[in-house]
Amino acid sequence: METKIRLAEQAKDSVCGQFQWIFSSHDNPGRRQPDEAYRKIDKVGPFNYKGLVTPWEEPLDVYYMYRANYVPAAKDPMVYLVSHTWTNRFRKRTSACHYRGLQ
């Protein structure tokens, strides 16, 4: 997605805009999973997690990436540590990614 924004910004003088196809993650009824349950009550449909927000409307990392790029820092400064909500990540040192909308 960062590449998409970078390419869109490079071409902004010759195109009329860009779009995000999926706003919210959603279920995908009708798509069979290889481990699908036998009883209807046990079936959990496959989910498409490519949206900017979860099905319960919590912003995902990509939401903050767009916000950092397109909301003016003077209006609403922000810093977001990518995937800070992941659990069990503190076993070894790793690099961190952040999005910021600051002056």
Tell me what pLDDT residue 41 has: 56
Q: Which residue has the tokens 């540590």?
A: 81
Tell me what pLDDT residue 23 has: 85
Owning domain of residue 24: 1-70
32 is a domain residue: yes
**How many structural domains does the chain have?**
1
Is this model's pTM higher than 0.75 or not? no
- pLDDT (tens digit per residue) in 37-66: 565 655 556 677 788 898 888 898 889 999
CB 79 within 8 A of CB 98: yes
42 is a domain residue: yes
90 is a domain residue: no
Tokens encoding 21? 């196809």
35 is a domain residue: yes
CB 28 within 8 A of CB 48: yes
15 is a domain residue: yes
- pLDDT (tens digit per residue) in 67-100: 988 999 899 898 888 876 666 666 666 677 777 7
93 is a domain residue: no
